[in-house]
Amino acid sequence: MAIPLTHYKTMDPFILLSAVNMLLRDDELTLDELCAREELDKELLCSKLQDAGFKYDETTRQFK
């Protein structure tokens, strides 16, 4: 069961990382597709994860 991303702005970054990567992997989505589907602000999401030390890898479609 996926973790809902409705509160992604205030989520712990490590839980957010896990949830986002799981959705990207399981639903075979790109980051743009995920953000559109879940109505996420892509810049805010990337900034929050980058502040925790993670960057999106387009080749593997996951944050590392």
| Residue 14 confidence (pLDDT) above 80 | yes
pLDDT of 3 = 79
Q: What is the pLDDT of residues 20-46, one digit of tens each?
A: 999 999 999 999 999 999 999 999 999
Residues 6+ positions from 48 with CB-CB distance below 8 Å: 8, 9, 13, 16
pTM here is 0.92
- Residue 4 has a pLDDT of 85
The mean of the pLDDT values for the chain is 95
- Asked if residue 1 has pLDDT above 70, the reply is no
Rounded Cα gap, residues 1 and 59, in angstroms: 25
